[in-house]
Amino acid sequence: MNWPVRRITAALISTMVLAGGCDSTTEAAAEPEVQPTVVSDVRSLSLPLDSYLPDRKQERLVEYGRMLLSLKCLRQFGFDVEAPPMPKPFALSLNERRYGVTNEAEVAVYGYRPPFSANARPEEPELSQAALAVLAGKDVAVKDVPEGGCRGKANRDLSEGADPDSVDWDLAQMLAVESYKQSEADSRVQAAFSKWSECMKRSGFNYKNPDAVQDDPIVDSASVTPQEIKIAVTDVRCKKEVNLINTWVAVEVAYQNRLVEKNEEGLSALKKQLDTRIRVAASLVGQK
């Protein structure tokens, strides 16, 4: 399966389906003051909400730790299951494509497509229907299966006995989606979009903003074309010319700081459990 090129930025911003989302500040609120920002490399860019989110390596570590605990539980019920090798983390850093393409050398070869194979999903062991039932804790034919099945026990063990349902695991991600939308609508970013659009027009490309490029069928073609590369290179150059990335990051940082302050209690609880899960998962992998 090929990597879906359309909406790649949106896919990297949110890996969940937001059913209703969080209660966004849709009411008229004053645009926050911003501090001048210089982004030297988006690959190392850190935003305020990143403290409450696992990075790519930590995300895979926790996933793998949960798998190890789930399989250990299944073996206690007599299922012969072995853990596959730990998968490599997703190749892009957390914010690398948050604001679209930014690396001219990269897009000169790949256009809007990521410079790696994105088909590397974590390998999962094959389980029988009986094992799947014990894993989920539903329709089981054996006794003493833990609440929520082996998967539920794994989640509790990752949290060292703390109730994993006591925190909103989606909170930081939902707020990150919210801050992105807020920053996009901000008058300062909108002004930068207009300048970017004017820059693109000088090269013959008519797009209202960087997201609009994803609506162009050219980026959905089976393989990268010279025209796509030309658009992508111009896109990156225009972002630099109008200082779009620095403006956008400065604005979103201000919105994220506001959201962090507003949601301090929930985020603190989330970070505490996240740190615990990362530590427990690391110890499990170290013992393997």
Task: Answer whether 242's CB lies under 8 Å from 196's CB.
Answer: yes
DSSP secondary structure code for residue 149 in this structure = H
Q: Is the pLDDT of residue 280 over 80?
A: yes
State how far the Cα of 50 lies from the Cα of 262, in Å rounded to an integer. Answer: 16
Q: Is the pLDDT of residue 73 over 90?
A: yes
Closest of 115, 96, 114 to residue 39, by C-alpha: 96
Q: Is the pLDDT of residue 117 over 80?
A: no
Give whichever of 8-22, 29-43, 131-145 has the largest mean pLDDT.
29-43
Mean pLDDT estimate for the chain: 88
Residues 6+ apart with CB under 8 A from 282: 61, 65
State how far the Cα of 40 lies from the Cα of 38, in Å rounded to an integer. Answer: 6
Question: 80-89, 113-122, 166-175 — which is least confidently predicted?
Answer: 113-122
Task: Answer whether 1's CB lies under 8 Å from 119's CB.
Answer: yes
State how far the Cα of 281 lies from the Cα of 259, in Å rounded to an integer. Answer: 29
Mean local confidence (pLDDT), 118-144:
81
Greater model confidence, 225 or 24: 225
Q: Which residue has the tokens 């229907």?
A: 129
With cut-offs at 50, 70 and 90, classify the pLDDT of residue 220: confident
Cα within 13 Å of Cα(115), Cβ side: 15
State how far the Cα of 286 lies from the Cα of 288, in Å rounded to an integer. Answer: 6
Q: Which two tokens stand for residue 63?
A: 């996933």
Task: Answer whether 13's CB lies under 8 Å from 95's CB.
Answer: no
What pLDDT, on a 0 to 100 scale, did the predictor assign at position 52? Answer: 97
Mean local confidence (pLDDT), 185-201:
98
Quick: pLDDT tens for 24-35: 444 447 999 999
Cα dihedral value 124, 129, 130, 136, nearest 10 = 60
pTM of the predicted structure, to 2 decimals: 0.84
Task: Answer whether 144's CB lies under 8 Å from 152's CB.
Answer: no
DSSP secondary structure code for residue 95 in this structure = T
With cut-offs at 50, 70 and 90, classify the pLDDT of residue 118: low
Using a pLDDT cut of 70, give the percent of the chain over it: 88
What pLDDT, on a 0 to 100 scale, did the predictor assign at position 27? Answer: 42
What pLDDT, on a 0 to 100 scale, did the predictor assign at position 182? Answer: 98
Q: Is the pLDDT of residue 10 over 70?
A: no
With cut-offs at 50, 70 and 90, classify the pLDDT of residue 132: very high
What pLDDT, on a 0 to 100 scale, did the predictor assign at position 204? Answer: 97
